[in-house]
Structure 1
């Protein structure tokens, strides 16, 4: 069967997007499982993520003046505000905001932006998993 090139590309992209979305984790536990598998590719000895490493990562500046806490506050169970724009940010901890870490595409989007701002690079799977391990300990 013949499809015009733009239509064929659109169909291929739709099929690819559909399969990716269907396989996307949608809970903190699923995200952590995916990140653990990815992190073990570079660190086979890794057995579990660390809430303590995550807390330290959250509150430490990483080569710039910013840390995660710069915008999300020292208590991620409360709302914050962007350090420059002052745009309000809902609580980061899943116990305070159940919508957090429930949409894999949004998680990827925000980790991409925020890691670039804070670290100047993408976060590793181990950093993401440790951070989420910490956030899961935070109560509202």
Structure 2
């Protein structure tokens, strides 16, 4: 083994570890998420559609508002467990929609609870377009 190889391996590991938090926490913004989902949907998010989607049930027991409130600018409470949740609207919660992995995880879980399926890119774009308008 070449004597420099362990040093290069250690350096690569150190650089990778240093970059990891930036790639996972605070790696995006609500506006970047909206642009991403709008591009995937092939149309910009529609706030009016997002508000309607958020506040109605979709053939199941819960709506998004069941836990997050009709206007999610204050703390929410899980409908089943009672666990407190930070506000969903980015204006009321600067951390909302800033971690891609976390956003994907919670959209996947919550959409399954509300819709019994994952949300489409258009549904995500619509909801976020509405959430971004809240103050």
| 2:40 counterpart of 1:38 | yes
C-alpha RMSD of matched pairs (Å): 2.0
Give the gaps of 5 or more residues in structure 2: 1-12
What residue is the counterpart of 1:43 in the other structure? none
> CA offset at residue 129 of structure 1?
0.5
Summarize the alignment of residues 5-20 of structure 1 with structure 2, pairs less than 5 Å apart: none
> Is contact 1:25-1:31 (8 Å) kept?
no
DSSP-derived class of the 2:133 partner: coil
Higher relative contact order (CA 8 A, sep 6+): 2
| 2:90 counterpart of 1:88 | no
Q: Deviations over 1:6-25 (max 9, x none)?
A: xxxxx9xx8xxx7xx48x96
Give the gaps of 5 or more residues in structure 1: 1-10, 41-45
Structure with max Cα Rg:
2
| 2:64 counterpart of 1:68 | yes
Q: TM-score, normalised by structure 1?
A: 0.77
**Runs of 4+ more than 6 Å apart:** none
